[in-house]
């Protein structure tokens, strides 16, 4: 299957809708002069255009149409096997000084990097079509909403951006014709999909992103991690708001009381699943609705934090998704979806490890090879993904388009930890909560290239996504708390603690409602908790565990503090802070000392 494809020749009246804004026109001209495409296709995001590009994508073997009876209007794409995840080692923040990028980012000099990238881009689109994608991030009437233009030579990127963003006229109109208006410039070229020429570079001062050499989601859908998080977090720090790697969900009690919570878990650690949670039967009348599954932009209004989801679709992990684990996700991806790197069955359906029912007797795996249940390889790549419009979600929150956002009652941090971290606990106050976020850790996953299963510190799940100095980011969080009269309560969760047998102690998924309920109760003033050295902990009877099939001793273990493990944990916090080379605010250093004191006392 292809990523790179020769130029297309659209029929008259298609691909010719140039915006009027002279700054955009000049920039596109400049990039075209550099990359020398065969032609320029101005995208308008219309149905007709999408249909045409899907047809061209099929003709060029970039997407395969799936069986319309099984998965209506859906397609499969296989990316190059050398290009299946984000590449953190090739992701750069190009600020004038290295200090601005800080100790957690790869930094490179802006001038040198532009020169290098322009060298790689020279003539890179010869014989190809250059697409120009206008899009906005955020609901159309939100004050936080940003305009972006992405130039790309990949049809797959155009098809995906139409799902993941609000694309076309809405962006062109919002930008208007003021040549001085703010917008993000994104340039993407596949080049020759060679890991040696793969760079994802951000120039926050120029509101510019250049990504070359990859065709995989997080590296090339420049709206998402590049704009909404890396550039977004940089702007948020300057402008006094927050751009976070967080899901946003609504939870409504049978009495009709509704809260919104935002939760930061690292990549492939459960955001999409939590955002679409289906409460167990015991919680009849409770409703969970999704505002967003990956990114939250939050601003302060009337002393409260309000969140919007800047995206328009979900780019979610496929393996493990089933009617049993997440029926809402299954319904969302049952039609109008682009799948990447899953298996194709003989009857034109998609399959992956963990899907309901038996595996197919034969399939084509994510690399395009024959596969049977006896094959040693996985049929779907562990980081195979779906791109699906949020309108497909049966539990989409009614306020998802609200420009002012939804008020956040609780912020949750969480990681994938087989030990140490209890199922849930609550920070003592905002700054303690910032400390919990700053020191959170998680076992690495297949969402990024590199080793899987290694515990690493991932502050606020933003380690790969914070576009500026992490010390300033911590300071920004502390400052935001100071401006909130009605600050969200902060919690830490861990769905992934394991027992001695190596199995998860907690069933997770829908049963996470039991933890969410405790969190909501705490937001409503419940005193069902005890103070511990690490914060407020529920006792087993503080959680609603009715009809839960988990042995009581597991619950005790899930909520327990192992002092030896915590000693190691606190030493790891200290080491992490030290590794950041003096940028950590003293408030957080003090928090660590206080936790250590509380363990002694
Ligand atoms: P990104 O899109 O990479 O940011 O990931 P995400 O945070 O949205 O993670 P997602 O919900 O897609 O879940 C990733 C993996 O974790 C999937 O394989 C899920 O099946 C698994 N998972 C999600 N929630 C739970 C849970 O509560 N318990 C357990 N054991 N696994 C879970
Ligand atoms: C993540 O890795 O956190 C994702 C997938 O959400 S990607 O868009 O590839 O970054
Ligand atoms: Mn993510």
Tokens of 92: 């750069």
For residue 340 and ligand 1, the question of a CB distance below 6 A is answered with no
What's the pLDDT at 601?
Answer: 80
The series of mean pLDDT values per 10 residues for the chain, 601 residues long, is 95 96 98 98 98 98 98 98 97 98 98 98 98 98 97 98 98 96 97 97 98 97 98 98 98 97 98 98 97 98 98 98 96 98 98 97 98 98 98 98 98 97 98 98 94 95 98 98 98 97 97 98 98 98 97 97 97 98 97 97 80
- Find tokens 């309901």 and name the residue: 356
Tokens of 38: 């065969």
For residue 425 and ligand 1, the question of a CB distance below 6 A is answered with no
Is the Cβ–Cβ distance between 310 and 248 less than 8 Å?
no
Is the Cβ–Cβ distance between 549 and 578 less than 8 Å?
no
Distance linking the first and last C-alpha atoms of the chain: 62
Tokens of 18: 């140039």
CA distance 534 to 562: 11
CB atoms within 10 A of CB 470: 21
What's the pLDDT at 176?
Answer: 96
CA distance 203 to 185: 10
Query: Which whole-number Å values give the CA distances from 130 to 15, 36, 216, 420, 488, in the listed order?
Result: 10, 9, 18, 51, 45
Is the Cβ–Cβ distance between 123 and 421 less than 8 Å?
no
pLDDT one-digit tens code per residue, 222-274: 999 999 999 999 999 999 999 999 999 999 999 999 999 999 999 999 999 99
Query: Which whole-number Å values give the CA distances from 207 to 96, 150, 200, 462, 595, in the listed order?
Result: 13, 12, 14, 19, 40
CA distance 90 to 512: 36
Give the residue numbers annotated as catalytic, written as ranges. 269
Q: How far is the CA of 531 from the centre of ligand 1 (A)?
A: 30
Burial of 39 from C-beta contacts in 10 A (0-12 / 13-18 / 19+)? middle
For residue 148 and ligand 2, the question of a CB distance below 6 A is answered with no
Backbone angles phi, psi at 274, to 5 degrees: -70, -40
Is the Cβ–Cβ distance between 576 and 104 less than 8 Å?
no
H-type alpha helices, 429-562: 430-439, 470-482, 512-523, 552-558
Q: Is the whole model's pTM more than 0.75, yes or no?
A: yes
DSSP state of 229: I
Is the Cβ–Cβ distance between 274 and 285 less than 8 Å?
no
Q: Tell me the best of 164, 215, 217, 458 to mutate to test the pocket of ligand 2, counting ligand atoms within 8 Å of each CB and taking the most.
A: 217
Ligand 2 atom nearest the C-alpha of 448 is: 2
Q: Whose CA is nearest to atom 24 of ligand 1?
A: 270
pLDDT one-digit tens code per residue, 563-597: 999 999 999 999 999 999 999 999 999 999 999 99
């Amino acid at each position: 299957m292809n990523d790179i494809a020769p130029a297309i020749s659209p029929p008259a009246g298609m691909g010719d809708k140039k915006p009027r804004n002279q700054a955009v026109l000049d920039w596109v001209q400049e990039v075209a002069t550099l990359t020398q495409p065969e032609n320029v296709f101005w995208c308008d995001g219309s149905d007709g255009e999408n249909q045409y590009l899907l047809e061209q994508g099929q003709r060029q073997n970039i997407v395969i149409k799936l069986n319309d009876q099984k998965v209506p209007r859906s397609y499969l794409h296989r990316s190059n096997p050398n290009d299946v995840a984000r590449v953190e080692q090739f992701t750069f923040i190009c600020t004038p000084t290295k200090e601005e990028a800080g100790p957690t980012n790869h930094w490179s000099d802006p001038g040198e990097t532009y020169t290098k990238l322009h060298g790689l881009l020279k003539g890179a689109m010869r014989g190809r079509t250059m697409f120009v994608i206008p899009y906005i991030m955020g609901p159309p009437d939100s004050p936080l909403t940003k305009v972006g233009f992405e130039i790309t030579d990949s049809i797959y990127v155009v098809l995906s951006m139409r799902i993941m963003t609000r694309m076309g006229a809405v962006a062109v109109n919002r930008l208007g014709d003021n040549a001085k208006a703010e917008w993000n410039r994104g340039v993407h070229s596949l080049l020759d999909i060679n890991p040696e020429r793969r760079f994802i570079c951000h120039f926050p001062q120029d509101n510019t992103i250049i990504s070359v050499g990859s065709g995989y989601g997080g590296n090339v859908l420049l709206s998402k991690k590049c704009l909404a998080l890396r550039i977004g977090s940089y702007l948020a720090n300057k402008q006094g708001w927050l751009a976070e790697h967080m899901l946003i969900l609504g939870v409504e009690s049978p009495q009709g009381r509704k809260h919104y919570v935002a939760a930061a878990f690292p990549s492939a650690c459960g955001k999409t699943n939590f955002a679409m949670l289906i409460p167990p039967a015991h919680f009849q009348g409770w409703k969970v609705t999704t505002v967003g599954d990956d990114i939250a932009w939050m601003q302060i209004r009337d002393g409260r934090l309000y969140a919007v989801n800047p995206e328009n679709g979900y780019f979610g992990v496929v393996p493990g998704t089933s009617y049993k684990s997440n029926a809402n996700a299954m319904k969302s991806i049952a039609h109008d979806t682009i799948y990447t790197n899953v298996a194709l069955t003989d009857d034109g359906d998609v399959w992956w490890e963990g899907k309901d029912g038996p595996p197919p007797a034969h399939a084509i795996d994510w690399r395009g090879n024959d596969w049977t249940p006896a094959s040693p390889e996985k049929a779907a790549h562990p980081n195979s993904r779906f791109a699906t419009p949020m309108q497909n979600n049966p539990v989409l929150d009614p306020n998802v388009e609200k420009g002012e956002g939804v008020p956040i009652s609780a912020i949750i941090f969480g990681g994938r930890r087989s030990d140490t971290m209890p199922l849930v606990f609550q920070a003592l106050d905002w700054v303690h909560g910032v400390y919990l976020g700053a020191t959170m850790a998680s076992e690495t996953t297949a969402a990024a290239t590199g080793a899987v299963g290694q515990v690493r510190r991932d502050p606020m799940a933003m380690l790969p996504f914070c576009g500026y100095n992490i010390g300033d980011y911590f300071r920004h969080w502390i400052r935001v708390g100071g401006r909130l009269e009605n600050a969200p309560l902060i919690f830490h969760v861990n769905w992934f603690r394991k027992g001695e047998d190596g199995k998860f102690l907690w069933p997770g998924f829908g049963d996470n409602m039991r933890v969410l309920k405790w969190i909501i109760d705490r937001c409503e003033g419940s005193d069902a908790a005890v103070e511990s050295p690490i914060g407020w902990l529920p006792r087993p009877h503080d959680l609603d565990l009715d009809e839960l099939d988990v042995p009581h001793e597991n619950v005790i273990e899930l909520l327990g503090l192992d002092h030896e493990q915590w000693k190691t944990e606190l030493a790891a916090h200290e080491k992490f802070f030290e590794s950041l080379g003096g940028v950590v605010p003293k408030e957080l250093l003090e928090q660590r000392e206080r936790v250590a004191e509380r363990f002694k006392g």
